[in-house]
Chains A and B, each alone.
Chain A
Amino acid sequence: MEHLIECKDIIKIYRGRGIGGASRGFKAVDGISLSIRKTESYGLVGESGCGKTSFARSILYLDPPSSGKVLFDGTELGALSRKELRGFRKRMQIVFQDPNSALNPKMSIHDSMSEGLINRKVPETDRVKRIKELLELVGISYSYRNRYPHEFSGGQKQRIVVARALTMEPDFMVLDEPVSNLDVSIQAQIINLLSDLKKEFALTYMFISHDLNLVSYMCDTIGVMFKGRIVEEAPSELLVSSPKHPYTRRLLASIPGGAQRSGAEDLADEEESVETLAARAGSRQKEMKGGKACPYYLFCPLGDGECVSSAPSLRDMDGGHVVPSGHKVSCHKA
């Protein structure tokens, strides 16, 4: 199947301006390569600070990557001029976590939604028609169009933000924690809405979340991130039922309310106590110095000399199957 997004070795370094000149900078994304097929939902999970959002911003060229290539529908985004890039921007949209800061409080929702369309010189009659259709589609009455963001609830605001992203008729949508600010009973409404829209417009999603339950429900493929790298990638059933990387196993075991919800009962016993983890991290701190070690070595229950001398790269876990399962792991011990 055709790929909509192909990334090769994306690296994003944020240059720090420390006292007394430039510091070494912070590598938020450390060489990620991944591909997303058309109409696929790709889930990116990981803890805060692991580089999920930096990666998403990089591939959308909101914050161009420090190195690496992004192919969007076969076109390399890095090679485009600003003007050409603007043409592609329309096809990729992002929905942020907090709908309160995503909507301008001084603009009515109709104005907020018109902005992009006006920029694209869409005639007024079409504009109004499209806004009307989309608002009704996400479950907001068109008669509310002249209201301001504060007059809506959190769930309604998130619906409006989604509708606004759709005004541009995108192919690719990045959903960055789209429901984590919402109430439990509202989350399900928005998730169903996103599923419906995906079918209706044949959208491709990249779903960023820390919630493995949600991602394993929504997505076809899941990539697990740790310290700027993908440590494991697999079709979601496979990742949840037979996680290979020790970090993925730890994440699954940490899901509150019992790992059995993800069908991985045997993980519950694997979770180690804080003291064990802290002691291990303390004793291994020195070995990490060279910068060659596997980033997870610090916490890994399986690590040994091999993990210190070289960092593993993402490799296929097929083990002689004729049909590739798509299960990739970055671990010497998997």
Chain B
Amino acid sequence: MMAENQALLKVENLGVCFTHGAMKAHALRGIDLSFYREEIHGLVGESGSGKTVTSTCIIGLLPSPPGEYTSGRILFDGVDLLGLSQAEMRTYRGRKIAMVFQEPSKYLNPAFKIGEQITEMLKLHLDMNKEQARQRAIELLGLVGLGKDGRVLDSYPHELSGGMKQRAMIAIAISCNPEFLIADEPTTALDVTLQLQILRLIKKLKDLLGMGVLFISHDLGVVKEVADRVSVIYAGRIVESSTKGMLFENPLHPYTKLLMASIPDARKRGQRLATIPGRVPDADATPSGCAFHPRCPLADERCKTENPELKGKENGHAAACHHAGESWNI
């Protein structure tokens, strides 16, 4: 298939297990994801579903031990990232694959000026000298909307507001023109009006730099705003994957349907919200068969024993469910 060859980054059958004494937590149980240039791929899931583990694997920061790869590979430009040594991985991390985190105040070093934190990257990866790096840093700040005069370069993180800090984080992430950007809940800590601004910024930069983007969020609304393609993850498995339009118009997996139905808004006033009974299973006690079966209104005997494959329709809309597309009274 053409599309497969063009994928910028491909996660294939990735499995990750965390060991703690006798307890084994299977955080990822064989996930497949493909990322393309100039496309934002949203990954939606609840806490503990494996969103962040996926991103730490891609950027090569899985703590090991206790983490351990049980299967799969991550192909980037034909290279399996999981087979690289730490030194080799460092030439990718920050340079070709960059990451923006949820809480900018945690990831910016409070003791260094913003300028120093940006130029550090440029000097390390692109061998720029001090003056070149400073010029480039000013350009970058302009690009993320922090002013063209470079005033922010000489600010410390505590002098910036939350939104500005997140912009500074993004400036650091894109400083080396990465081909792939991971944004892990980049707006969760921000106010709604700021959130929209940051989402627009990420979209703009994606077009400008032609990056592939993995956008992780728990918020379906945010993903709807920003993503081109959406995958839903549940208990370490991708349960549904499609283009944004198809997924939001016609969700196939009961989990996706219930998630959408459970979000309150003005039009549901006076009605009861649909709920998903129970809660996300712990990674060390994933149910047999389809992991969603104990909470699923459509579950039958087969779901308890047989784990459904992620099966695609011709249009690329895939769901991992024996009853995909079946409707019921929510």
Contacts and interface: CB of A to CB of B under 8 A. Distances in A.
B82 interface: no
B191 A210 contact: yes
B151 interface: no
Given A183-B280, A257-B221, 17 more contacts: A186-B279, A188-B263, A192-B272, A213-B264, A217-B265, A217-B273, A236-B266, A255-B192, A256-B225, A257-B222, A257-B225, A258-B224, A262-B266, A271-B196, A273-B200, A274-B197, A274-B201
Interface in B178-225: 191-193, 195-197, 199-201, 218-225
Interface residues of B, number: 38
B221 A256 contact: yes
Contact of A254 (B192, B273, B280): B192
Nearest to B255: A185
B267 A261 contact: yes
Contacts of A211: 192
Contact of B266 (A192, A213, A257, A271): A213
Nearest to A188: B262
B53 interface: no
Give the residue among A183, A184, A213, A278 with the most B Cβ atoms within 10 A.
A184
Contacts of B267: 261, 263
A184 B275 contact: no
Given A216-B265, A217-B269, A255 B275 contact: no
Nearest to B189: A48
B225 A258 contact: yes
Give the residue among A155, A250, A261, A263 with the most B Cβ atoms within 10 A.
A261
Nearest to A183: B46
B269 A216 contact: yes
In the complex, the 9 A-B pairs of residues with the closest C-beta atoms, listed nearest first: A257-B221, A217-B264, A188-B262, A257-B224, A216-B266, A47-B191, A185-B276, A256-B225, A256-B221
A49 B264 CA distance: 24
A150 to B, nearest CB: 14
A274 B224 contact: no
Contacts of B279: 153, 155, 183, 185-186
B265 A192 contact: no
A95 interface: no
Size category of the binding interface on chain A: 35 or more
Contact of A184 (B197, B219, B265): B219
B74 to A, nearest CB: 27
A194 B192 CA distance: 24
B275 A188 contact: yes
Contacts of B266: 213, 216-217, 236-237, 240, 261-263
A251 B193 contact: yes
A188 B222 CA distance: 18
B274 interface: yes
A128 to B, nearest CB: 28
B216 to A, nearest CB: 14
Interface string A216-238: 11100000000000000000110
B268 interface: yes
A250 B280 contact: no
B278 to A, nearest CB: 9
B193 A47 contact: yes
A187 interface: yes
Given A185-B46, A256-B225, A274-B197, A261 B192 contact: no
Contact of A236 (B222, B224, B269): B269
A126 interface: no
A256 B269 contact: no
13 contacts: A183-B280, A184-B218, A184-B220, A184-B263, A185-B258, A189-B276, A195-B272, A213-B265, A236-B269, A254-B193, A256-B195, A257-B221, A257-B224
Contacts of B218: 183-184
Given A191-B264, A213-B266, A263-B267, A185 B280 contact: yes
B145 interface: yes
Contacts of B263: 184, 188, 213
B262 A187 contact: yes
A201 to B, nearest CB: 18
Contacts of A210: 191-192
Contacts of B296: none
Contacts of B273: 188, 191-192, 217
Interface in B212-240: 218-226
Nearest to B219: A256
Contacts of A256: 192, 195-196, 199, 219, 221-222, 224-226
Contacts of A214: 264
Contacts of B193: 47, 250-251, 254
A191 B265 CA distance: 12
Interface string A144-179: 000000000101000000000000000000000000
Given A183-B218, A271-B196, A188 B265 contact: no
B47 interface: yes
A93 B204 CA distance: 46
B195 A189 contact: no
Nearest to B147: A278
B246 interface: no
Interface in B271-292: 272-276, 279-280
Nearest to A49: B191
A184 B223 CA distance: 14
Contacts of B258: 185
A278 B145 CA distance: 9
A275 interface: yes
B259 interface: yes
Give the residue among A185, A192, A240, A255 with the most B Cβ atoms within 10 A.
A185
Contacts of A187: 262, 264
A185 B46 CA distance: 8
Contacts of B269: 216-217, 236-237
A240 B200 CA distance: 24
Given A185-B276, A217-B266, A275 B192 contact: no
Contacts of A217: 264-266, 268-269, 273
A14 to B, nearest CB: 19
